[in-house]
Chains A and B, each alone.
Chain A
Amino acid sequence: MDIRFKFMKFRKIAGLISITLFLISCVSLGLRGLSLGLDFSGGTLIEVSYESPVSLESIRIKLDNNGYPDSQVVNFGTNLDVLIKVADQSGNSSVGESIFNILSDQEIPIELKRVEFVGPQVGDELRDQGGLGMIVALFMILMYVAFRFQYKFALGAVTALAHDVVIILGIFSVFSWDFDLTVLAALLAVIGYSLNDTIVVSDRIRENFRTERVLEPMDMIDLSLNQMLGRTLVTSFTTLLVLFALFIFGGELIRGFSLALIIGVVIGTYSSIYVVANMLMSLTLTQDDLAIPEPEGADFDGMP
């Protein structure tokens, strides 16, 4: 038996780190909340491109004087592109136009790149739908894993997923990064990815518990983690490769998305090693739990 890394030796420390991060995230989410993007908060966003750089302050003053005192004005990507956000004005859909008209008066020619208007009720709905989707996704996965494996694995998997999601949300909250629809999509994709990882590890633990009948549960889990380490790292590495390509070259619009995924892949990899295994240890997984032979294997032997 080749156990190079005794992962479970550090399980208490890892558990402590996870719990601390989880709690910090919860506190930050509770106190600061998320800085919700336009999709969820409602309001108007307008992106314009100037032919030569222009000072943001002058745009702010201009908007101030024309009845939009609380608008956010930032550069977007380059110093020629300017993004202006106006908080909701009771669902008035023509704010974008009037802002564009105000800005067109300046000496430097501008080009309209995009206008987004999201009414308040749509924002609320998207928020509710997003939350609901997350819960439904977690529940369906719980059911599937409980059906395919065993309820202790299901609990482990769902704990790992909740752990990942809450910590990513926490990071977005702590740094006040914009949380919009694409970040929500990334979060759900992280659920998918992290689960992928979790299942691969669980699958090996299950296999070892059935075939190797000598080792202690802790060694068994360590053995499984070691066997899967190569694969876990390679997959995380290739996924991170493309995500960094996306982050660097994909442009400003999907930067939040790729950032959430990068964080998610890192945390997901960690959680599939520590959170799941930790949960299985705490729930004292025994060989009896997996004694009943499932139709696994037999079903798929004919397949390539």
Chain B
Amino acid sequence: MNKFSIYQYLLILVVLVVGSLYALPNLYPTQPSIQVAYTDSGRSADQSLLNDLESILEESQTDYEDIFLRENKIVIKFKDVDTQLSSKTVLQNALLDKVIIALFLEPATPQWLKDLGANPVKLGLDLSGGVHFLLEVDIETAQQGRLELLLETYRKTFKEERIKFDESSIKDLKLHFKFSDNQSYNKGLKKFRDDSPVINGVQYIITERPSSDVLMLEYSDIALREIRDYAVGQNLITLRNRVNELGVSEPIVQRQGGNRIVVQLPGVQDPTAAKKIIGKTANLEFRMEANSRTSPLRKEEFNFKENEFQTAFLERSVIVAGDRVTNANTGFDESGFAQVNITLDMEGGRAMQKATSGNIGRRLGVLFVEQKTKSELVTNAMGESVIEQTSYIEKNIISLATVQAVLGTSFRITGVGSPAEASELALLLRAGALAAPMKFVEERTVGPSLGKENIELGMKSIVIGFALVVLFMIFYYRVFGIAANISLILNLVLITGIMSLLGASLTLPGMAGIVLTVGMAVDANVLIFSRIREELKEKDPQSAIRDGFSRAFVTIFDANVTTLITALILYIIGTGPVKGFAITLSIGIVTSMFTAIMCTRAMVNLVYGNKNIQELKI
């Protein structure tokens, strides 16, 4: 009686071994390291950079443990944090703006564990220190921009097709057209309807007012979602590019919900600088090329972005800036060459029309404007040499093309080279301006000392809480208490293993969740043991053990399922700290069911199974 088959033992063993394997990387200490990448995101780190770094470090007699190339970056490991910090200064001083240097902690996970995909648990921002931003994309502005374009297009079409209208405007995100007569009204309505269908629904919702010859047009939900998704997607790309400039080792840039973007930068200590880069606007300027009649005072010389040695003169006056660009993508012209299609908003279109109407045959230049920071070694008042950063603006020509016709809201640039070059240009044009403005709606910064403090406090409470429970269980349940305690330890190991496996981040509330699980996990065993005690009054020990476990199971199952329901709801509705708590709680519930029931039973079976026992100490 009370014996498991060999398969049951094997199953338990397999689960425990796998769990421990994935929990293992957390035991290895982390090593202070730095990551070096070229500032120019297009260029990946190579052997020559590695050699440069090596010689700089050797020259300054810095001790480093390892240097190697990994995924476009060079990683250097150090013995301690002090050398890590001092070498960062040394390297930055030597290479200045050529490279981006990020500090990070490299886990010392052995290769065979890495091959299994086992990595240490990621730390949340409240434990690692860093910055968290939540940005909201202003969809209404994006929508307004689209509507302005649409208004312009319809005005043009109606004029061309002689559909007369008296008034046209945008009110409350709706197009209003008041037609001159009923005939025009009907023609206009037909035009709207023809344009409306899209593959999976309608593009526009049309409000008809035949009595006053007024038509109103607004975007349907499908179209709105498309606009939103485009704007958020576009901003996401732009943000990723900007975040890369910050040189953070593991940044997170993610969409959250409909129109929000989360940016998490672990290890970044200066939120102001981070905000400046994230919120900055790279920009575009459309300018005419200067010709022989342009006075020297009204022209400027710029380098090409692609070729540093090629320059051109452009007029000083800006026709349109990048914030007027609503879209840019690649296509092919009639003869199959790559081209870039650009769409401007209404005002931009008007300005472009005005500027190009007398200038067909001249060339139109597109300038890419970037805000950059320059680092310089200077000697301060105390005689120390420090890096001083100054920001400056750099403008480069990304395209110079002949104007073939009068341009309006949408036009194209041909002769842009290969399709790859065309899409690069389109990307630059889009990156110039965000698809829709964004604002910061949430910001959390955790200093490094607080992060360290939080880890210590969290660990301390886990250890103390755990020790108290363990002592109590031994005191109260004797042999069975020891079995329960072993299960509790296995439970902690499994939680850690699953957290590592899922790649979930551990936060301070997450640690609280683990502590709570420790307290609640013993409940299952308490239920079983008190049931066995009860059964002992009427039955022999072996039957009492058997019935105690099987009867308590139903109760434990119901109780845990309901708790799991609340934990899952917490996970779904929660953000940040609540989510962290919900993750560890959910994992804890599942693992504690396994350890408290299966593992404890296995141990009890190993001790008492198939034996003739007269008395149970419980």
Interface positions of A (Cβ within 8 A of B): 47, 49, 91, 93-94, 96-97, 111-119, 121-122, 126, 129-130, 132-133, 136-137, 140-141, 144-145, 148, 181-182, 184-185, 188-189, 191-193, 195-197, 199-200, 203-204, 227, 230-231, 234-235, 237-243, 245-246, 248-251, 253-254, 257-258, 261, 296-297, 300-301, 303-304
- Contact between chains at A245 and B444 (CB < 8 Å): no
Render B552-573 as a binary contact track against A, CB cut-off 8 A, 1 for contact.
0111011111110111011011
- Contact between chains at B566 and A188 (CB < 8 Å): yes
Interface positions of B (Cβ within 8 A of A): 4, 126, 134, 136, 271-272, 275, 439-447, 449-450, 453-454, 457-458, 460-461, 464-466, 468-469, 472-473, 476, 508-509, 512, 515-516, 518-520, 522-523, 526-527, 530, 533-534, 549-550, 553-555, 557-563, 565-567, 569-570, 572-578, 581-582, 585, 597-598, 601
Question: For the complex, what is the distance from the CA of A296 to the CA of B557, rounded to whole Å?
Answer: 11
- Contact between chains at B461 and A241 (CB < 8 Å): no
Q: Is the interface of B mostly helix, strand, loop or mixed?
A: helix
Question: For the complex, what is the distance from the CA of A105 to the CA of B44, rounded to whole Å?
Answer: 43
Residues of B within 8 A of A112 (CB): 445, 447
Residue on A with the closest CB to B582? A185
25 A-B pairs in the complex with CB atoms less than 8 angstroms apart: A115-B444, A116-B444, A119-B136, A119-B439, A122-B134, A137-B566, A185-B577, A185-B582, A189-B516, A196-B520, A196-B559, A196-B563, A199-B558, A200-B527, A200-B559, A203-B555, A231-B523, A234-B530, A235-B527, A238-B519, A242-B468, A245-B515, A246-B461, A303-B550, A303-B597
Residues of A within 8 A of B585 (CB): 189, 192
Residues of A within 8 A of B271 (CB): 96-97, 115
Residues of B within 8 A of A258 (CB): 512
Residues of B within 8 A of A234 (CB): 476, 526, 530
Q: Which of A192, A240, A248, A250 contacts B566 (CB 8 A)?
A: A192
Give 9 A-B pairs besides A133-B573, A245-B468, A296-B554 with Cβ atoms closer than 8 angstroms: A97-B272, A141-B562, A144-B565, A192-B566, A192-B567, A196-B563, A238-B473, A300-B554, A304-B549
Residues of A within 8 A of B526 (CB): 231, 234-235, 238
Closest 7 A/B residue pairs (Cβ): A242-B465, A119-B441, A245-B465, A239-B519, A133-B573, A251-B457, A93-B440
Contacts A49-B449, A148-B558, A185-B509 given: A195-B563 contact, CB under 8 Å? Answer: yes
Q: Is the interface of A mostly helix, strand, loop or mixed?
A: helix
Contacts A119-B440, A181-B577 given: A140-B563 contact, CB under 8 Å? Answer: no
Residue on B with the closest CB to A149? B558
Residues of A within 8 A of B460 (CB): 249-250
Contacts A242-B465, A251-B453 given: A121-B441 contact, CB under 8 Å? Answer: yes
CB distance from B555 to the nearest CB of A (A): 5
Q: Which of B509, B554, B601 contacts A257 (CB 8 A)?
A: B509
